[in-house]
Structure 1
Amino acid sequence: MKIYGVTGWKNCGKTGLMERLVSEITARGYRVSTVKHAHHTFDVDQPGRDSYRHREAGAEEVLLISGKRWALMHELREEEEPPLEHLLTKLADVDLLLVEGYKREAHPKIEAHRKEAGKPLIAPEDPTIRALASDQPASQHPDVTCPVFDLNDTAALATFVLQETGLLRHAAKTA
């Protein structure tokens, strides 16, 4: 399984870019999964539902299954957040795993950047960032040595990711 990330500061377009990349790359015939890192508490369950009640009662893991999907929820309780490497062992094998967030991990990444967010670029100081997806042209980023793409040029960004991961060789069969 090949791994590629999308990173950047809050409100710089990471989630939208992830969504578009998943759509574009799966349309080309690849199997894609995603990991999203949240910096805050979240819940995928509903209070009062059976699975919620199981977790609230103290279950460490709850596997919820229907005819359309299954979901495994694992409560950390007071444990530390596990590293990304450990979490990847929980996923089924696919062609490409796209990871949103995880700025400090060593996998290759695209940095999403919007000028209006007012945040500094990460790319000039981080060798794991292999491309910048920006709402400004490359001429506005003189300190960036990696390729600069238009934030909305999903097709070009998808091709770049597929080239970087060595998956593009299969594109002739699926395109």
Structure 2
Amino acid sequence: MKVFGFAGWSGSGKTTLMERVIPLLTGRGLKVSVIKHTHHRFDLDQPGKDSWRHREAGAAEVLLISERRWALMHELRDEPEPDLAAQLARMSPCDLVLVEGFKHLGLPKLEIHRPAHGRPLLHLSDPAIVAVATDGALATDLPCLNLNDPAAVAGFIVDHLEL
């Protein structure tokens, strides 16, 4: 599996860009999966539902399955957060895993940057960033892609990873 990251400050448009790029990649016949890292607590479950009650009772994992999808919830309890390699090992085989977050890991990444937000550029201190998608003018030696042109971004990823 090839892995490619999207990095940027909160509110820069990482999720929106990925949402627009994924169908372009799958339209090329690629099987694409996503890993989204968050610093916030989250829960896919709802209090009072059977699966929530099983987790609250102490189950280490609860797998929910229906005719349309399945989801495995693993409670870390006192375990450390697993690294990206451990999570990739859990993924089903695919052509490409897009990663949102994990912005300080050394995987090839696209920086999403909006100059109007006034945040510093990440690629200045991250050699794993291979290009920047922006909606403004930017002086950099890296390839600059138009943030509003998801086809160009998808094409760059395919070319860069030789998919």
TM bucket (normalised to shorter chain) is over 0.9
Offset at 1:100?
0.3
Aligned length: 163
Q: Which amino acid aligns with 2:126?
A: D
Q: Which runs of 5+ in 1 are unaligned?
A: 168-175
**Structure 1 segment 1-175 matched on structure 2, within 5 A:** 1-137=1-137, 141-142=138-139, 144-167=140-163
Q: Which amino acid aligns with 1:160?
A: F
SS in 2 for 1:89: helix
SS in 2 for 1:123: coil
Does the Cα contact within 8 Å between 1:17 and 1:151 map onto a contact in 2?
yes
TM-score, normalising length: structure 1: 0.90
SS in 2 for 1:104: coil
Q: Which amino acid aligns with 2:3?
A: I
Q: Which runs of 5+ in 2 are unaligned?
A: none
Distance 1:160 1:76 in 2: 36
RMSD between superposed Cα atoms in Å: 0.9
Question: Percent same amino acid among aligned pairs?
Answer: 53
Distance 1:163 1:20 in 2: 18
**How big is each residue's C-alpha offset from its partner over 1:55-97, in whole Å with a ceiling of 9 and x where there is no partner?**
1111010011111111000000011101111111100010110
Give 1 or 2: higher helix fraction. 1
Distance 1:131 1:20 in 2: 18
TM-score, normalising length: structure 2: 0.97
SS in 1 for 2:4: strand
Runs of 4+ in 1 over 3 A off after TM superposition: none
SS in 1 for 2:90: coil
Q: Which amino acid aligns with 1:96?
A: L
